[in-house]
Chain A
Amino acid sequence: MGRFHRHADGTDHSHDETGGHSHDPGDLSGYQTGTERVEVLERIFGENDKTAAANRDRFAVTGVCAINLMSSPGAGKTTLLRQTLTRLAGRLRTGIIEGDIQTSLDADQLGGFGAPVALINTGNGFGGECHLDAPMVASALPRLPLDDLDLVLIENVGNLVCPAEFDVGEHARAMVYAITEGEDKPLKYPVMFRSCDLVIVNKIDLLPYLDFDTGGFLANLRTVNPAATVLSASARTGEGVDAWCDWVRAQVAARG
């Protein structure tokens, strides 16, 4: 009898008795002490992922491509989005979902580009969620005119840990990495770097002032994510932003 289970990427499979897994939930010691054991075998992200799938369906039926943009705080997501909206205006009908623990500062910065912005403040009694999850994004969808959009850019909460764990229903994941963060970040935050389809190496206008080892960073990135597309950019000067916009347009075209 094989052991069935589901992986984080949503795939299911089972292993035969000699299979490679070391875990075994079939410890029956509880019975010996008279306590009852209930088998559960349920993924803790299951609920989130169900809502994420519903979000993805909602995007699909309205013909919208959704891209989840993640980074550490201050890496340049909002600046990149401002540059992006300027370039995509008149070419792609774009909406923004803006996630922040507190304040509408970033959402305010993204106003005035003709793109509808739905703000999600994740603050709550415990000090605020460190990420967007699928139910939060679901709550923002009615505030965007999805039928009239081609693209939704989801600016996640600045954080290299938690957002990577939560599928929000996006079609592609991109992250902004700033060269001020150090070459070792892919090894320190492998879940984030591994989860991305695209990594934008940002703030390259600072290269002359830093001892950034580009080759070292790329080598570290490749050990955790050999497949990711890598682009260099400066969201401040606009250098490289066209290539990012091309990538975005290719994502939209792939779903059109």
Chain B
Amino acid sequence: MASGVIRVHELSLCGSIGSIVERHAAGRPVSVIHVQIGQLRQVVPDTLVYCWELVSEGTQLAGSRIDVEAVPARIRCRACDQVAEVGDLPVLVCGECGSTDTEIVSGEEFMITSLELAETSAEGASA
């Protein structure tokens, strides 16, 4: 078995977050990274926040933190057009008419919405 203790996909996702953030920050210091995570994603917010500390350490983005906005899952029934929030169990069946012909309206988000830049006197050199 591997030597490490952590084996979660949040780690590799932090790698992707890092490259997106670096591109948009263009050398400017970042304080907060705002991330939306849909309820239907199997991305654990606390784990993502923790992994970010590990992954960003020693990089240009060290000291920045991830702020997670959880997005509830909602489905729309194609049979009766009812829109409803999905509960803790991921049941994708219309609660109104029982149809399984539903579409997911929200809850699959996993995106960086915005960055907050840290206050600094330094100019964005690599921009």
Contact = CB atoms under 8 A, between A and B. Distances in A.
A45 B7 contact: no
Contact of A126 (B6, B91, B93): B6
Contacts of A41: 111-114
A2 to B, nearest CB: 15
- Size category of the binding interface on chain B: 35 or more
Q: Main SS of chain B's interface residues? A: mixed
A203 interface: no
B109 interface: yes
Given A47-B16, A162-B42, A40 B24 contact: yes
Given A35-B31, A129-B12, A130-B9, A5 B114 contact: no
Given A22-B72, A224-B90, A5 B109 contact: yes
Contact of A102 (B2, B5, B111): B2
B111 A48 contact: no
Nearest to B48: A44
A221 to B, nearest CB: 11
A35 B120 CA distance: 9
Interface of B: 1-9, 11-13, 16-17, 19-21, 24-25, 28, 31-32, 34-36, 38, 40-43, 69, 71-72, 74, 76, 83, 89-93, 100-101, 104-106, 108-119
Top-7 shortest CB links A-B:
A127-B4, A25-B113, A226-B100, A162-B9, A190-B90, A8-B108, A128-B2
23 contacts: A6-B111, A7-B109, A9-B108, A20-B76, A21-B71, A21-B105, A21-B106, A23-B36, A23-B113, A30-B32, A37-B117, A40-B115, A41-B112, A43-B111, A44-B13, A44-B112, A46-B20, A48-B16, A127-B3, A166-B9, A187-B89, A187-B90, A194-B92
